[in-house]
Structure 1
Amino acid sequence: MSDFDLTKLLAERGAERYELHTRHLNHQLPRMLRTIGFDKVYERAEGASLFDAEGDDYLDMLAGFGVMGLGRNHPVVRRALHEVLDAQLADLTRFDCPPLPGLLAEALLARAPGMERVFFGNSGTEAVETALKFARYATGRPRILYCDHAFHGLTTGSLSVNGEECFRRGFAPLLPDTAVPLGDLGALERELRRGDVAGLIVEPIQGKGVLAAPPGYLAAAGELLHRHGALLIADEVQTGLGRTGDFLAYQHEAEVQPDLVCVAKALSGGFVPVGATLGKEWVFRKVYSSMDRVQVHSASFGSNAQAMAAGLATLHVLEDENLIANARRMGDLLRERLAALVDDYELLHEVRGRGLMIGIEFGRPKSLALRSRWTMLQAARRGLFAQMVVVPLLQRHRILTQVSGDELEVIKLTPPLVIGEREVDRFVGAFTEIMDEAHNGGGLLWDFGRNLVKQAVANR
């Protein structure tokens, strides 16, 4: 029996975490975290809370970029993982058909009417890559359309349909593609007339900036695509699995009929990497058209027992605890309470989103004193005011949030679906306090803003 002791190793070396990252991983991550004061040490987590070594709790309004939809360390998913490990299954033989992938596929398809088959990978970007490959093969066409400011992942294929230039810069050449404005059916039709479009990939609500597709757009886009022999691909990696108050965000409009749907993130309850591409029968039959093509698209760790067990447990918890309804109810409450503040604070421009995917956008104030400070920040780098709010939310109020994208004055909230009124009260109270300070010329907040300006200028 091996004498490997993970608990002992972590006790001995855990304090080196930031130095280990600096030496062996992305050296800019510890530097960035220290610069903005995010270099916390979290010792454990439960539900919507993180805890440091002193036992202080931090409200998690990020959920690991949406991965922790059930909250952290949900006991039902943990138990399922213990059970599947204790079962000592003959996993990943690749020359059998184990039951767990079929059961999880069945459960997913039951919640996504119109979808008929599933491919399991390991991440959201893999789910997108699968959809891109399947769409191109099924249609025999090379080009994929996407929307301005979209985010679909960072591997080469998904990067090709990424609407943020900061991610694409330096990685060309990519796949042939074209960006169209979200909601612009005319631009979509102009591209489709060229006859080389395999499909359009679109987020029902864009993660970068929390921008929703206009009402009716997805249905009209799908109809237009189908008329031209192209596919509608719904990227639900972040919006899916209950986050917006329905199982999938496109289901808020009954007329939307995608051909392929990408899900990932929250599917395993945050425990195991997993992604899935759901699709129409004819698309899968075209890709896997003969026994010679049985492995034409596969993933070494796809459909592994741990991911499948976690996925089944996650879907059970979503229903058993009524978390989708809770996301809708708490999302409405949080959004309404934040929107009520817009008239009180001239720096607060808009609150938008759906369910527990909420964007808080800041904008240019009217008063001279605030306008001069806003201009100072904007001249150095867009997005600094949002960062000015995110940092004290963590430092003073122990609430973890994020700026929604590069050079965006938007804070994005994607908390676990388990939050209740207590967490809503805590966030709104903290946010209101910070807005009061910003509008009253609070020295500490604007001093921090000046430090951000200096860092932004130094990094140019």
Structure 2
Amino acid sequence: MSTEFDLGALLAERGAERYELHGRYLNHQLPRMLHTIGFDKVYERGEGAYFWDADGNDYLDMLAGFGVMGLGRHHPVVRKALHDVLDASLADLTRFDCQPLPGLLAEKLLAHSPHLDRVFFGNSGTEAVETALKFARYATGKPRVLYCDHAFHGLTTGSLSVNGEGGFRDGFAPLLPDTAVPLGDLDALARELRKGDVAALIVEPIQGKGVHEAPPGHLRAAQELLHRHRALLIADEVQTGLGRTGDFYAYQHEDGVEPDLVCVAKALSGGYVPVGATLGKDWIFKKVYSSMDRVLVHSASFGSNAQAMAAGLAVLSVMENEQIVAGARLTGDLLKSRLTALIDKYELLADVRGRGLMIGIEFGKPRSLKLRSRWAMLQAARKGLFAQMVVVPLLQRHRILTQVSGDHLEVIKLIPPLVVGEPEVDRFVDAFTEVMDDAHNGGGLVWDFGRTLIKQAVANR
């Protein structure tokens, strides 16, 4: 009798129990939520920008695993690199040697931000943020970190301290000393800096929640103000980095911006292996690692592991060889212009914004009396329901996976794999147009589902 572990046999035997297993042993609210909104699909496989179910139906992924799948699923170059690194049987994670892969990946990453000098590798975006917070506080000798309203930087205790959404913070205090300032408000930033205890400002150049971009010139002006007060600028590029916005980093859309620390994660491993990176200036790293006694003062057990490093090197190679950044810019411009053209056609469509393949579609109060009354009913039950009402038929009718951009926001965020092109733009815009037609005609799946959501919102009060 064979005692070998057979993953294929296990999945064949138990795979149908996926929702029951999750409800019993993991976060029980997730399957409940998926059942409620009709997202309880069974996806059998994925490739590129698509999933397939057991019946062979394809689904267009406009979510990319919250931005992790920058190159889509199962890119052959990244996949081969992982097979190669496993077959190499490297002496990985000995902890008392220097393997080549971390240095090679750091070198490649830093080539895209030549004003930075060194890299710390961890395992996630929130770890990259935690590293930046620790390094900024130690390097400046100051305790307080500023962040922006509605920011999202992660959910561990340190990164939660710079999270601009109260729903994530409630019940987890006390957190680190912190203060929120409005995105783009230099006067508020200056007021806080004058208190003399600010180590850094951490900012997403384009916020993930709501897809709000820092105003033109703001990052450079903020950087000058911070440096005048001996504080640092931390750019959180966990979602916006690696080509997402049509430049390698989103801060590069503005001339003269050179953050002291940059956080990277998500798409760095092609979605295969957890990985995070904090890039920084030489003097900051030398202050933290100031002596041999402090060589492990900040470290991660799985940081710099061979699989993550090999995947990262493969991802950067693909990005260069396949001109991923330029493609994201072109496809993003096409998608944004096609959607912007619909604003005058649909009164429920308020705004289309973003850069590259990070686009926010915002809905707003309509003009006509009939639609205004329906909108008011939804808003009274729970803000954000209309955006959810659009997301559901996009999946149910058109097999397109999207997301609402944040709790209580009437915004859909599109962050597809960067390998999408004109056919995917056509498919999405055609589907979105049909859903908007349905919503403005006042019938069909959109408003039927709206009634279900209202009942659910009222029941949860």
TM tier, smaller? over 0.9
Indicate the residue corresponding to 2:176 in structure 1.
Answer: 175
Indicate the residue corresponding to 1:12 in structure 2.
Answer: 13
Moved more, 251-260 or 73-82: 251-260
Query: Could you tell me the percent identity over the aligned residues?
Result: 82
Indicate the residue corresponding to 1:150 in structure 2.
Answer: 151
Distance 1:10 1:32 in 2: 24
Indicate the residue corresponding to 1:280 in structure 2.
Answer: 281
Distance 2:441 2:52 in 1: 32
Indicate the residue corresponding to 1:363 in structure 2.
Answer: 364
Could you report, residue by residue, the CA deviation over 1:346-368 in whole angstroms, capped at 9, with x for unpaired residues?
A: 00000000000000000000100
Distance 1:110 1:63 in 2: 26
List structure 1 segments (4+ residues) > 3 angstroms apart after TM superposition: none
Contact 2:70–2:270 (CA under 8 A) maintained in structure 1: yes
Indicate the residue corresponding to 1:69 in structure 2.
Answer: 70
Could you report, residue by residue, the CA deviation over 1:327-380 in whole angstroms, capped at 9, with x for unpaired residues?
A: 000000000000000000000000000000000000000100000000000000
Distance 2:134 2:175 in 1: 14
Contact 2:146–2:202 (CA under 8 A) maintained in structure 1: yes
Within the alignment, does 1:341 sit opposite 2:339 as a pair?
A: no
> What SS does structure 2 have at the residue aligned with 1:222?
helix
1:443 is displaced (CA, Å) by 3.5
Within the alignment, does 1:263 sit opposite 2:293 as a pair?
A: no
Look up the equivalent residue of 2:69 and give its one-letter code. Answer: M
> What SS does structure 2 have at the residue aligned with 1:151?
coil
Aligned pairs, number: 460
Distance 1:340 1:64 in 2: 28
Indicate the residue corresponding to 1:327 in structure 2.
Answer: 328
Contact 2:52–2:58 (CA under 8 A) maintained in structure 1: yes
Look up the equivalent residue of 1:329 and give its one-letter code. Answer: L
Indicate the residue corresponding to 1:453 in structure 2.
Answer: 454
1:257 is displaced (CA, Å) by 1.2
Indicate the residue corresponding to 1:103 in structure 2.
Answer: 104
Indicate the residue corresponding to 2:24 in structure 1.
Answer: 23
Indicate the residue corresponding to 1:121 in structure 2.
Answer: 122
Listed as ranges, the gaps of 5+ residues in structure 2 are none
> What SS does structure 2 have at the residue aligned with 1:212?
coil
Could you report, residue by residue, the CA deviation over 1:238-267 in whole angstroms, capped at 9, with x for unpaired residues?
A: 000000001000011121010000000000
Distance 1:443 1:309 in 2: 49
Distance 1:349 1:221 in 2: 29
> What SS does structure 2 have at the residue aligned with 1:12?
helix
Distance 1:91 1:140 in 2: 35
Look up the equivalent residue of 2:51 and give its one-letter code. Answer: L
1:447 is displaced (CA, Å) by 1.6
Distance 1:358 1:444 in 2: 24
Distance 2:4 2:236 in 1: 45
Distance 2:302 2:420 in 1: 32
Look up the equivalent residue of 1:368 and give its one-letter code. Answer: L
Look up the equivalent residue of 1:38 and give its one-letter code. Answer: F
Distance 1:412 1:433 in 2: 18
Indicate the residue corresponding to 2:391 in structure 1.
Answer: 390
Q: How large is the RMSD of aligned CA atoms in angstroms? A: 0.6
Indicate the residue corresponding to 2:239 in structure 1.
Answer: 238
Distance 2:280 2:238 in 1: 15
Look up the equivalent residue of 2:359 and give its one-letter code. Answer: I
Matches within 5 A, 1:77-96: 77-96=78-97
Look up the equivalent residue of 2:198 and give its one-letter code. Answer: V
Contact 2:393–2:445 (CA under 8 A) maintained in structure 1: no
Look up the equivalent residue of 2:427 and give its one-letter code. Answer: R
Look up the equivalent residue of 2:374 and give its one-letter code. Answer: R
Look up the equivalent residue of 1:226 and give its one-letter code. Answer: H
Distance 2:224 2:44 in 1: 50
Distance 2:121 2:262 in 1: 12
Indicate the residue corresponding to 1:427 in structure 2.
Answer: 428
Moved more, 257-266 or 437-446: 437-446
Distance 1:437 1:51 in 2: 26
Indicate the residue corresponding to 1:159 in structure 2.
Answer: 160
Indicate the residue corresponding to 1:201 in structure 2.
Answer: 202
Indicate the residue corresponding to 2:50 in structure 1.
Answer: 49
Distance 2:446 2:329 in 1: 33
Look up the equivalent residue of 1:428 and give its one-letter code. Answer: V
Distance 1:274 1:443 in 2: 43
Indicate the residue corresponding to 1:298 in structure 2.
Answer: 299
Distance 2:114 2:187 in 1: 29
> What SS does structure 2 have at the residue aligned with 1:144?
strand
1:133 is displaced (CA, Å) by 0.1
> What SS does structure 1 have at the residue aligned with 2:352?
strand
Look up the equivalent residue of 2:91 and give its one-letter code. Answer: A
Distance 2:445 2:402 in 1: 20
Distance 1:360 1:250 in 2: 22
1:444 is displaced (CA, Å) by 3.0
Could you report, residue by residue, the CA deviation over 1:302-332 in whole angstroms, capped at 9, with x for unpaired residues?
A: 0000000000000000111111001000000
Look up the equivalent residue of 1:77 and give its one-letter code. Answer: V
Distance 1:166 1:75 in 2: 39
1:451 is displaced (CA, Å) by 1.1
Listed as ranges, the gaps of 5+ residues in structure 1 are none
> What SS does structure 2 have at the residue aligned with 1:206?
coil
> What SS does structure 1 have at the residue aligned with 2:256?
coil
> What SS does structure 1 have at the residue aligned with 2:313?
helix
> What SS does structure 1 have at the residue aligned with 2:180?
strand
Look up the equivalent residue of 2:322 and give its one-letter code. Answer: E
1:2 is displaced (CA, Å) by 5.0
TM-score by length of 2: 0.99
Indicate the residue corresponding to 1:437 in structure 2.
Answer: 438
Moved more, 60-69 or 435-444: 435-444
TM-score by length of 1: 0.99
Distance change >3 Å, CA 2–CA 84, structure 1 → 2: farther
Indicate the residue corresponding to 2:33 in structure 1.
Answer: 32
Matches within 5 A, 1:181-192: 181-192=182-193
Distance 2:78 2:173 in 1: 40
Could you report, residue by residue, the CA deviation over 1:193-249 in whole angstroms, capped at 9, with x for unpaired residues?
A: 000000000000000000000010000000000000000000000000000001000
1:445 is displaced (CA, Å) by 1.8
> What SS does structure 2 have at the residue aligned with 1:391?
helix
1:450 is displaced (CA, Å) by 1.0
Look up the equivalent residue of 1:157 and give its one-letter code. Answer: G
> What SS does structure 1 have at the residue aligned with 2:413?
strand
Distance 1:168 1:314 in 2: 34
Could you report, residue by residue, the CA deviation over 1:89-111 in whole angstroms, capped at 9, with x for unpaired residues?
A: 00000000000000000000011
Distance 1:375 1:113 in 2: 51
Distance 2:432 2:132 in 1: 39
